[in-house]
Structure 1
Amino acid sequence: MLYPLTLRSSPRLFSFLALLAAFLLGANAYAGTVWLNNGDRITGTIQSLDGGKLLVKTEYGGNIRVDITHVKTLESDSELVVKDGEFNNDYRAKLVAAGDGTVTLQGVERADGQTTPVSTAVPVASITRVVRPTPFLNEATFKGRFDLAATRKTASTKTQDYTLNTFNELRHGMWRHQLAADYTRNKEDSTDSTYNYGAGYTLDYFISEKAFWQGRAKYRRDFVEELNRQVVYGTGPGYQFWDNELGAFSLSALMSRVHYGYTDGSSENAYAASLRWDYVRYFYGKEFELYTRGEVLRPINSDTKFAINGEVGARYNMNSWMSVYLKYARNQVSGDGRQGGINESVYSTGIGVRW
């Protein structure tokens, strides 16, 4: 015989439903909220404020950008790093809803290395910058990007251009892993004017909140130039100047070992000193992005005197996962040896997907 399932006959089910309801209510209670002047309300996680654009991450609409002039008041689900431009104050505080056009900051004010508890109301319009604090010990986070630019022309000659690259980062605890790869091919009829690919892996161990020790390895293969193989690996200290919702900037100085191979079968090995950089800056609620990353390398006691590999670009983020980009990439290896070097510039524009 089948018995109907009731809460009275199933106390475990009742307990489960009660816990589930409490969790859902709690999740809703701790969500950030933005009240607009027209009476609308946005519920989600406040990510950043920069250039007058407030970025809110929602479960129902992805990232939503709001002009701060349309905000009546707002509250956050946790402490944020807040810059008050009107009084030039710096806070780490929760945002608490207040009267029209104002918000209460509850936390601490930071000045001259000192912190002072505060609970003060300020005009919403006076807040110039908000970012979420980056904890020193992060839980495992993964993010990545894939960019594609491709053109094909059929006329008296057939031209095909392809540029693909991907960048992925995994961070857990004190460790940060970065894996990058790229592929470029420019072909006219059956002749390649550019044809190469490369991959690199970087491992950072954070000694403190800013300082880290870096190890990396890179391989590059070229099917057109006389310098057809490059292998670089090295290690050294680095410093993370900042890393938050508005961007990141780091420098690292490495002692490296380089191996160059040529089409005639000869090769060259040398030690080298290098400086690497990685910079990205977001604007208007992450709608626009400027970035540059790369490396300058100086071999020691080698025919190769100088090498640079890097790129600079701009990106327009149409939504939280798709973008349009324009970039310039440079790959140069030069010296006094009899072997040929590389002097390559690539301009590309295309679409990008991030996760």
Structure 2
Amino acid sequence: MSLRILLPFLLLILSLPAGADTVWLNNGDRLSGEIILLDGGKLALQTKYAGRVLIDWKDIDTLSSDKPLMLRRDGIDSEASERLQAAGVGMVQVVNGSTVTVPLASITRLVPPRPLLHDRLWEGNLDAKLDLDRDENRTDEWKFKGDTRIEHGRWRHVLNGELERKTENDEETEDNWEVEYDLDRFFTDHWFWRMGYDHKEDHFSDAYRQRMLGTGPGYRFWDNELGRFDLISRYNRVALNSEYGEFDFNTWSLEWDYKRLLRGTRFEFYTTGTLHKPQIEVIDYIIESEAGLRYRLNDWARLSLLYELEQLYGVGTSSSQRHYLIGLGVGW
């Protein structure tokens, strides 16, 4: 095909209107865009002419959407919809094999389904920080933090990692990394059993290596397109290598994992952490926690703000370490 024939054909294809979701308001207005989320009585609609618009759900007469959505209705768990079709005032048709007309007032949540890898659910984040300081000292610092999880059937694999390097005047002052792998087996939709292994290396710390193997029950309060909340209790065996010798001891721990999308999925708040109760006299308890906020620039890019806190209490004293991470990241 010659370019003189191909070029007009391409221009015609590009000029065709893209499919869009449509919302009819009860004041007679009609808005077109992409439905992002319905939560808390607000519908987030991404438009080309006004950006992201938040619409009160009670102000909508009906709507339509050609893309798959997950719905939650009063008294009904989440259900899938292939598409939505406009119906009468205060109504909408839910199409998923069959067509059902339901009141808008009965729908409490709309959200695009999470991406699936065949029969698996896969999600994750990778955040990076780079700090170059060029004053009287030459300081280069970079840090990567990542997490990913794959869930299929009754099994869930969770992998977390962290890598940090820092040099001052070409002399290395920080060199540490950590990797953690957890395997969960669900017995119900909420209860599961976790087995996990954690390995830490810090070349500039007195305790330069730590390995921990643990197992215990967990409870999933919820895990959906808007977020998750897990609590896990574990019994662990810890092997610690330090400048003062090798130590082995047991701990009880309580872990939490919380994430929630906010303001039409634009913001994401999350916090994870572990409270340890070592079975040794010199340490009362240890807290390792982090909390952060991510701002979604687009479907994959994130701006991230992270706060890390590590505290140790024992023999009447305490020590704390705090870290802040501001950087860019990707999510999937």
TM class by smaller structure: 0.7 to 0.9
Which of the residues 68, 77, 91 maps onto 2:55? 68
Q: Structure 1: 5+ residue runs without aligned partners?
A: 1-31, 84-88, 108-117
Which of the residues 174, 180, 205 maps onto 1:200? 180
SS at match of 1:224: coil
Two-structure CA RMSD over aligned residues (Å): 3.4
Which of the residues 152, 161, 167 maps onto 1:172? 152
Looking at structure 1, the residues matched to 313 and 171 of structure 2 have their Cα atoms a distance apart, in angstroms, of 25
Looking at structure 1, the residues matched to 30 and 91 of structure 2 have their Cα atoms a distance apart, in angstroms, of 16
Partner of 2:212: 232
Percent identity reads 31
Cα distance change of structure 1 residues 55 and 330 upon mapping to structure 2, 3 Å threshold:
farther
Tell me the CA shift for residue 307 of structure 1.
1.9
Q: Answer yes or no: is the 8 Å Cα contact 2:36–2:265 preserved in 1.
A: no
Partner of 2:267: 288
Higher Rg of the two aligned structures: 1
Looking at structure 2, the residues matched to 132 and 237 of structure 1 have their Cα atoms a distance apart, in angstroms, of 31
Partner of 1:104: 92
Q: Structure 2: 5+ residue runs without aligned partners?
A: 1-18
Partner of 1:276: 255
Which of the residues 312, 326, 334 maps onto 2:305? 326
Tell me the CA shift for residue 161 of structure 1.
2.0
SS at match of 1:82: strand
Tell me the CA shift for residue 309 of structure 1.
1.7
Cα distance change of structure 1 residues 334 and 162 upon mapping to structure 2, 3 Å threshold:
farther
Tell me the CA shift for residue 50 of structure 1.
2.0
Which of the residues 174, 178, 181 maps onto 2:161? 181
Which of the residues 314, 323, 336 maps onto 2:293? 314
1:284-320, Cα deviation, whole Å (9 max, x unpaired): 2210011001111111135343222221011111111
Q: Which range moved further: 328-337 or 207-216?
A: 328-337
SS at match of 2:119: strand
Q: Which amino acid aligns with 1:183?
A: L
Looking at structure 2, the residues matched to 130 and 175 of structure 1 have their Cα atoms a distance apart, in angstroms, of 27
Cα distance change of structure 1 residues 171 and 122 upon mapping to structure 2, 3 Å threshold:
closer
Which of the residues 79, 82, 103 maps onto 1:121? 103
Q: Answer yes or no: is the 8 Å Cα contact 1:272–1:298 preserved in 2.
A: yes
SS at match of 1:68: strand
Which of the residues 35, 40, 47 maps onto 2:22? 35
Partner of 1:345: 322
Cα distance change of structure 1 residues 327 and 79 upon mapping to structure 2, 3 Å threshold:
closer
Tell me the CA shift for residue 128 of structure 1.
4.8
Q: Answer yes or no: is the 8 Å Cα contact 1:215–1:235 preserved in 2.
A: yes
Cα distance change of structure 1 residues 47 and 173 upon mapping to structure 2, 3 Å threshold:
farther
1:167-195, Cα deviation, whole Å (9 max, x unpaired): 11111111110111101234332555543
Looking at structure 1, the residues matched to 45 and 257 of structure 2 have their Cα atoms a distance apart, in angstroms, of 24
Partner of 2:235: 255
Looking at structure 1, the residues matched to 217 and 257 of structure 2 have their Cα atoms a distance apart, in angstroms, of 14
1:96-151, Cα deviation, whole Å (9 max, x unpaired): 52235x233769xxxxxxxxxx954345xx855335789xxx92122222110111
Partner of 1:3: none
Tell me the CA shift for residue 79 of structure 1.
7.8
SS at match of 1:236: strand
Looking at structure 1, the residues matched to 247 and 45 of structure 2 have their Cα atoms a distance apart, in angstroms, of 51
Tell me the CA shift for residue 347 of structure 1.
0.7
1:44-59 equivalences under 5 Å are 48-51=37-40, 52-54=42-44
Cα distance change of structure 1 residues 181 and 80 upon mapping to structure 2, 3 Å threshold:
closer
Matched, 1:267 2:246: yes
